[in-house]
Chain A
Amino acid sequence: MPSPLPTVSRFEADLLTLLQGLLGHAPRSQWLPILTKAQPRPKCLSAAAVRLVADTLAKGATRLVAEAGWRSERFLRGGEAATGRLWERTAPSELGLAFSPLALDFLMWATSETCAKPAALWKVPRKRQLEIGDRWLLAAAYGAVRQSDIGVAWVQGEPWRNEPLCQLLYAADFDHPANAAPLDFSPWLVPAGIAILEASQRQLAELWIEMEAAKERVREFEELRAMAASQRRALDAYFAAIDKIERRDLARFLLAAARTLTTPGANVRRRVPELRLEKLRLADRQQAYRDAVVALQYVVELGRWQAAARGIGYFDEGYAAAQLWKADWEAYHGDALSSAAAAALAETQGLVAEIPRTAEAARASPAETG
Chain B
Amino acid sequence: MSRSYRIRVRESLRRVIRASDHVSSQLELLEILPPEQMAELLAQELTGRGFERKGNQVVRKDQGISIAVDLGSGEVTVSAAAQGKVDLTSEKEGRAYDDAGPNSAQVKEQLRKAIQASLAQEADRQTAELQKQATDRLEAALGDVRRELDQAVNRATAAALKLKASQMGQIKNLTEDAATGSLTIVVEV
List A residues at the B interface (Cβ < 8 Å). Answer: 278-283, 285-286, 349-353
Contact A353 B150 (CB under 8 A): yes
Known: A350-B25, A351-B78, A352-B26. A282 touches B139 (CB 8 A): yes
Which residues of chain A have C-beta atoms less than 8 A from B22's C-beta? Answer: 282
Q: Does B70 contact A (CB under 8 A)?
A: no
Which residues of chain B have C-beta atoms less than 8 A from A286's C-beta? Answer: 23
Question: How many chain-B residues does the 8 Å CB contact rule pick out?
Answer: 21
User: Please, which residue of chain B has its CB at the minimum distance from the CB of A279?
Assistant: B128
Distance between B45 CB and nearest chain A CB, rounded to angstroms: 16
> Bound state CA distance, A262 and B28, in angstroms?
28
Residue with the greatest number of chain A CB neighbours at <10 A, chosen from B22, B132, B135 = B135
Which of B36-44, B100-108, B141-149 participates in binding chain A?
A: B141-149
Contact B23 A352 (CB under 8 A): no
Contact B135 A282 (CB under 8 A): yes
Contact B146 A282 (CB under 8 A): no
Name the prevailing secondary structure of the A interface residues.
loop
Within the complex, which residue of A278, A280, A283, A353 is in contact with B23, where a contact is CB–CB below 8 Å? Answer: A283
Distance between A269 CB and nearest chain B CB, rounded to angstroms: 10
Contact A352 B139 (CB under 8 A): no
Within the complex, which residue of A278, A279, A282, A352 is in contact with B27, where a contact is CB–CB below 8 Å? Answer: A352
Q: Interface digits, B79-90 against A, CB 8 Å rule (1 contact, 0 not)?
A: 000000000000
> Bound state CA distance, A278 and B78, in angstroms?
19
Q: Does B138 contact A (CB under 8 A)?
A: yes
What 20 additional pairs, Cβ within 8 angstroms, besides A281-B135, A282-B139, A352-B146? A278-B132, A281-B21, A282-B21, A282-B22, A282-B23, A282-B135, A282-B138, A282-B142, A285-B135, A285-B139, A286-B23, A350-B23, A350-B25, A351-B23, A351-B25, A351-B78, A351-B149, A352-B25, A352-B28, A353-B146
Which residues of chain B have C-beta atoms less than 8 A from A351's C-beta? Answer: 23-25, 76, 78, 142, 145-146, 149
User: Please, which residue of chain B has its CB at the minimum distance from the CB of A283?
Assistant: B23
Residue with the greatest number of chain B CB neighbours at <10 A, chosen from A283, A285, A286, A351 = A351
Distance between A178 CB and nearest chain B CB, rounded to angstroms: 20
Which residues of chain A have C-beta atoms less than 8 A from B78's C-beta? Answer: 351
Sort A-B residue pairs by CB-CB distance and give the 7 closest, nearest first: A351-B25, A350-B23, A350-B25, A352-B25, A278-B132, A282-B21, A351-B146
Which residues of chain B have C-beta atoms less than 8 A from A283's C-beta? Answer: 23
Contact A350 B142 (CB under 8 A): yes
Which residues of chain A have C-beta atoms less than 8 A from B25's C-beta? Answer: 350-352
Q: 8 interchain pairs (CB within 8 A)?
A: A280-B135, A281-B21, A281-B135, A283-B23, A286-B23, A350-B146, A351-B24, A353-B150
Which residues of chain A have C-beta atoms less than 8 A from B132's C-beta? Answer: 278-279
Which residues of chain A have C-beta atoms less than 8 A from B128's C-beta? Answer: 278-279
Which residues of chain B have C-beta atoms less than 8 A from A280's C-beta? Answer: 135
User: Please, which residue of chain A has its CB at the minimum distance from the CB of B128?
Assistant: A279
Residue with the greatest number of chain B CB neighbours at <10 A, chosen from A279, A282, A285, A353 = A282
> Bound state CA distance, A278 and B136, in angstroms?
9
User: Please, which residue of chain A has its CB at the minimum distance from the CB of B78?
Assistant: A351
Distance between A267 CB and nearest chain B CB, rounded to angstroms: 12
Which residues of chain A have C-beta atoms less than 8 A from B26's C-beta? Answer: 352
> Bound state CA distance, A280 and B150, in angstroms?
26
Which residues of chain A have C-beta atoms less than 8 A from B24's C-beta? Answer: 350-351
> Bound state CA distance, A349 and B135, in angstroms?
15
Residue with the greatest number of chain B CB neighbours at <10 A, chosen from A280, A283, A349, A352 = A352
Distance between B152 CB and nearest chain A CB, rounded to angstroms: 12
Which residues of chain B have C-beta atoms less than 8 A from A279's C-beta? Answer: 128, 131-132
Which residues of chain B have C-beta atoms less than 8 A from A281's C-beta? Answer: 21, 131, 135
Distance between A281 CB and nearest chain B CB, rounded to angstroms: 5
> Bound state CA distance, A353 and B135, in angstroms?
20
> Bound state CA distance, A282 and B131, in angstroms?
10
